[in-house]
């Protein structure tokens, strides 16, 4: 565990030990004896299966092994579970692995030769996340705990109302409060029986599995366990006011958007709940007319809650937020865009219950686009393309990867569009970095909080809508904005060099690091943003133009680079096929023929490779074609290879790779890089 992680865990333990624990136990913190690991100690472990009707699973008398390993008997563990789990556990107090689901589980779990026919839905888990584990039992079916440490952990008694699953969960949560170190082993060492989660399930979708988990973990027993944990730790309710405290200062940067700002503040007033708050609007130069409207509206808010700061300057989100923080009186600061609408009743309370925790840094909320169903933000995750809003655009009505759009999750960063942090931690880490004027300043603040030993969290039970970039436009809408964004991303990496090429501890090993989706498996080339296809110049067409060859260009446009060593690209997406050929044996290339003033081809041409894309929609049109679903493609041509002011005849080259090798070319409409496809007149 990193030094920052150790500090965060220590804060977490200190907060837990402030609370009086029931059952008459006197709990003493158990030090992590790393000397055994450093001396080449090979730990031993005993596996305890649960639920177990014949024994008390939480009775550790007579167990001499170093670790006790709890395993849900409704599943299969790897034969070498003990050695792999403990050898990678580095002598930690608690160790847990990844898991997946199976539809074929042998009755005899002791059979090391058991054959698992259908493994699916790998559950790649985050590193230890203290808020996630309380909200969502991502550690449940398989975990190891040091035996001498486990004996100190109080256990609730078995009763008809409390089964072994709840007892184990309560035991684990109490153990985590005392643990000196918690290690995640990113290996799939347990195979969960799908039929135990969904009786009779065979061919169910991943989304059905996620929904079944959601329904399981929102049953009364799990809810009571969560509430008892939060009550024991004193973190389940909004901090009690002391006179006017805790006061939340809501800081809203805004310019020339009086109608949008009024709607934002109106929703705050409707859904703030009983929490005390003030609103500080920082205006960087509205027109006189708009200034007068905003000033009058804000300063006349009931209870003297409104403060209006007018300081004309170029837009600098960091400076504006810091200006608002200097004027704030609250012990908690909520930075909020003027195009965000709070739609969850009591949203301030749902955020401050996390922000008040001593080990928590920044707190965010689930943000939806204005259609109220598409996800805009459920946390910022560091992947190959940089800090990214994972699941952006996904449908929130569906259960996403292992309930990522539900519950509360510890994340690397949250968006500054709605970010709460205690005043003390904000100034401890230096506030927003004013050299980052627009982009990545929120990520930079969150990373500094992580580096200081805090955990950031997004509470998906708190929902707001976000009309993103309403005032300043989309960042990638122009060359200047795109270049600025790239420079600020580079500055972020320069300030936190460990992030570049480094995995996100709150994301999960083995998950997709190229796209906004969260999933396991190989990512197809067409989804990798900075992958550029190869381009060659030829003096003549590489095949025969045929009327029987078919093609369609469905999308084309500019795609901005992400990596520093990449360049922008012109993206062309579509499909091409020769009806008599097996599409599984056909390579597809884009051909661009430069045109003169009379739209006549000059003979030379550009030929670019493509990345294959699965297209289920084409089969409805070409029902008799063989492997027609393989006819799709995506092509990214480096911007430097095309003249944006020229016109090109676009076509698709179909090259047969097997049998008698030959090429057929389907020619289409005119393509202009600046405008896209231009239909022939």
Q: What is the pLDDT of residues 476-493, one digit of tens each?
A: 456 677 778 888 888 999
DSSP secondary structure letters along 553-566: EEEEEEE---STT-
Domain annotation covers residue 28 = yes
Whole-number Cα distances in Å, 252 to 247, 265, 268: 16, 9, 12
pLDDT in tens, 638-672: 999 998 888 999 999 999 887 677 889 999 999 98
Domain annotation covers residue 507 = no
The number of folded domains in the chain is 3
Query: Residue 39 pLDDT > 70, yes or no?
Result: no
Tell me, yes or no, whether 492 and 613 share the same domain.
no
Tell me, yes or no, whether 16 and 165 share the same domain.
yes
Tell me, yes or no, whether 10 and 155 share the same domain.
yes
Out of 233, 263, 279, a domain closes at: 233
What span, in angstroms and rounded, lies between the C-alpha atoms of 109 and 130?
A: 31
Query: Residue 244 pLDDT > 60, yes or no?
Result: no
Out of 481, 499, 517, a domain closes at: 499
Domain annotation covers residue 510 = no
Of the listed ranges 103-117, 125-139, 349-363, 414-428, the one predicted with least confidence = 103-117
Burial, 242: exposed, middle or buried (Cβ in 10 Å; 0-12, 13-18, 19+)? exposed
Tell me, yes or no, whether 577 and 633 share the same domain.
yes
Quick one: pLDDT at residue 42?
Answer: 78
Domain annotation covers residue 485 = yes
Burial, 73: exposed, middle or buried (Cβ in 10 Å; 0-12, 13-18, 19+)? middle
Query: Residue 117 pLDDT > 90, yes or no?
Result: no
Tell me, yes or no, whether 184 and 313 share the same domain.
no
Q: Are 671 and 556 in contact (CB under 8 A)?
A: yes
Tell me, yes or no, whether 296 and 434 share the same domain.
yes
Angle between helices 479-495 and 441-451 (to 10 degrees): 10
Domain annotation covers residue 495 = yes
Tell me, yes or no, whether 488 and 577 share the same domain.
no
Of 13, 400, 444, give the one whose Cα is nearest residue 213: 400
Tell me, yes or no, whether 258 and 149 share the same domain.
no
Q: How sure is the predictor about 426, in pLDDT bands with cuts at 50, 70 and 90?
A: very high
Quick one: pLDDT at residue 650?
Answer: 93
Question: Across the strands, what pairs with 651?
Answer: 591, 667
Domain annotation covers residue 406 = yes
DSSP secondary structure letters along 500-550: TT---TTT-TTB--SSS---BSPPPGGG-TT----EEEESS-SSEE-TT-E
Domain annotation covers residue 435 = yes
Tell me, yes or no, whether 490 and 529 share the same domain.
no
Tell me, yes or no, whether 55 and 25 share the same domain.
yes
Query: Residue 28 pLDDT > 50, yes or no?
Result: no
- What does DSSP assign to residue 585? G
Quick one: pLDDT at residue 5?
Answer: 60
Tell me, yes or no, whether 22 and 156 share the same domain.
yes
What span, in angstroms and rounded, lies between the C-alpha atoms of 632 and 618?
A: 8
Q: Are 29 and 178 in contact (CB under 8 A)?
A: yes
The boundaries of the domain holding residue 71 are 3-233
pLDDT in tens, 247-290: 999 999 999 999 999 999 999 999 999 899 999 999 999 999 99
Q: What are 368's two structure tokens? A: 């939806």
Out of 210, 233, 256, a domain closes at: 233
- What values do phi and psi take at 644, rounded to 5? -65, -20
Residue corresponding to tokens 């109080």: 154
CATH code of residue 372? 3.90.550.10
598-608 in b/e burial notation, b at 16+ Cβ within 10 A?
eeeeeeebbbb
Tell me, yes or no, whether 224 and 263 share the same domain.
no
Domain annotation covers residue 196 = yes
């Amino acid at each position: 565990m990193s030094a920052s992680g150790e500090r965060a865990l220590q804060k977490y333990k200190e907060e837990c030990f402030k609370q009086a624990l029931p059952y008459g136990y006197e709990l003493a913190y158990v030090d992590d004896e790393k000397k055994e690991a450093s001396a080449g100690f090979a730990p031993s472990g005993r596996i305890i299966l649960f639920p177990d009707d014949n024994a008390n699973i939480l009775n550790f008398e007579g167990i001499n092994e170093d670790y006790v390993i709890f395993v849900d008997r409704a599943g299969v563990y790897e034969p070498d579970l003990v050695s792999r789990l403990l050898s990678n556990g580095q002598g930690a107090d608690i160790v847990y692995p990844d898991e997946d689901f199976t539809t074929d589980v042998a009755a005899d779990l002791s059979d090391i030769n058991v054959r698992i026919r259908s493994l699916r839905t790998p559950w790649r888990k985050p590193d230890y996340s203290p808020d996630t584990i309380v909200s969502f039992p991502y550690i449940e079916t398989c975990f190891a705990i040091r035996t001498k440490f486990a004996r100190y952990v109080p256990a609730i008694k078995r009763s008809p109302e409390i089964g072994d699953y709840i007892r184990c969960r309560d035991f684990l949560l109490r153990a985590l409060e005392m643990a000196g170190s918690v290690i995640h082993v990113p290996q799939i060492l347990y195979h969960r029986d799908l039929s135990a989660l969904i009786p009779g399930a065979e061919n169910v979708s991943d989304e059905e599995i996620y929904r079944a988990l959601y329904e399981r973990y929102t049953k009364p027993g799990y809810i009571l366990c969560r509430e008892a944990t939060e009550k024991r730790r004193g973190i389940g309710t909004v901090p009690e006011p002391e006179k006017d405290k805790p006061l939340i200062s809501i800081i809203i940067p805004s310019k020339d958007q009086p109608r949008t700002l009024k709607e934002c503040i109106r929703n705050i007033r409707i859904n703030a709940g009983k929490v005390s708050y003030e609103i500080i609007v920082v205006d960087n130069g509205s027109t006189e007319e708009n200034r007068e409207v905003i000033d009058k509206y804000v300063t006349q808010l009931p209870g003297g809650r409104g403060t209006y700061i007018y300081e004309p300057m170029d837009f600098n989100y960091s400076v504006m937020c810091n200006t608002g923080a200097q004027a704030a009186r609250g012990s908690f600061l909520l930075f909020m865009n003027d195009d965000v609408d709070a739609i969850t009743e009591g949203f301030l309370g749902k955020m401050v219950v996390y922000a008040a925790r001593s080990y928590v840094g920044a707190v965010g909320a689930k943000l939806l686009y204005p259609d109220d169903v598409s996800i805009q933000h459920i946390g910022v995750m560091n992947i190959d393309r940089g800090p990214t809003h994972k699941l952006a655009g996904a449908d929130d009505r569906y259960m996403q990867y292992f309930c990522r759009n539900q519950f509360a999750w510890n994340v690397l960063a949250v968006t500054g569009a709605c970010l709460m942090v205690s005043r003390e931690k904000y100034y401890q880490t230096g506030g927003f970095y004013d050299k980052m004027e627009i982009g990545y300043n929120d990520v930079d603040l969150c990373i500094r909080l992580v580096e200081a030993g805090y955990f950031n969290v997004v509470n998906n039970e708190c929902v707001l809508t976000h009309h993103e970039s309403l005032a300043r436009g989309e960042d990638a809408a122009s060359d200047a904005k795109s270049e600025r964004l790239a420079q600020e991303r580079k500055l972020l990496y320069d300030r936190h060099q460990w992030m570049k090429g480094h995995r996100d501890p709150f994301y999960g090993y083995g998950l997709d690091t190229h796209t906004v989706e969260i999933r396991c498996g190989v990512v197809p080339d067409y989804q990798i943003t900075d992958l550029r296809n190869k381009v060659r110049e030829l003096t003549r067409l590489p095949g025969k133009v045929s009327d029987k060859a078919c093609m369609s260009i469905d999308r084309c446009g500019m795609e901005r680079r992400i990596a520093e060593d990449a360049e922008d690209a012109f993206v062309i997406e579509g499909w091409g096929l020769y009806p008599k050929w097996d599409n599984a044996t056909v390579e597809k290339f884009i051909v661009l023929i430069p045109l003169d003033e009379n739209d006549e081809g000059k003979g030379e041409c550009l030929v670019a490779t493509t990345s294959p894309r699965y297209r289920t929609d084409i089969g409805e049109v070409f029902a008799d074609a063989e492997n027609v679903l393989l006819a799709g493609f995506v092509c990214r041509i480096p911007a430097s290879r095309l003249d944006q002011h020229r016109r090109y005849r676009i076509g698709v080259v179909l090259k047969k790779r097997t049998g008698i090798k030959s090429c057929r070319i389907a020619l289409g409409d005119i393509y202009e890089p600046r405008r896209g496809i231009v239909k022939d007149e």
